[in-house]
Structure 1
């Protein structure tokens, strides 16, 4: 399990509540509860926190992988 550095955690914020995040296993957990009353959780994949609001996760999962890498390729 990759550990997020304390320096990075000090600047990361929950995109929904704006609260600080703490690592719990393979997830980052918001310090403040979201609109549903529960603390929001964000997965960490390959050491990268996926800080997408819950309503955007299905769209991100459904997008073809080439769309995720569009900014890294050169078309000219």
Structure 2
């Protein structure tokens, strides 16, 4: 996932802001981590550079 996507991404449930947490990245993109919605208290995983914003696969922290 490219960092520039953060400008357009929002929570698919409440349309709130997402906070990026990075576990692994290279010089071009974020490879592993998650996007956190503080309003819903839900995390959306980023695996192999692909953010999964499907609400049914989100994990509550």
Task: Give TM-score scaled by structure 2 length.
Answer: 0.65
1:10-65 CA distance string (max 9 Å, x none): 100100110121211311011x422xxxx211000111110011xx22xxxxxxxx
Higher share in strand: 2
1:27 paired to 2:27: no
1:44–1:50 contact (8 Å) kept in structure 2? yes
Higher Cα Rg, which structure = 1
The structure in which a higher percent of residues are helix is 1
More relative contact order, 1 or 2 (CA 8 Å, 6+ apart): 2
What is the RMSD computed on CA atoms of the aligned residues? 1.6
Runs of 4+ in structure 1 off by over 2 angstroms are none
Residue of structure 2 equivalent to 1:9 = 6
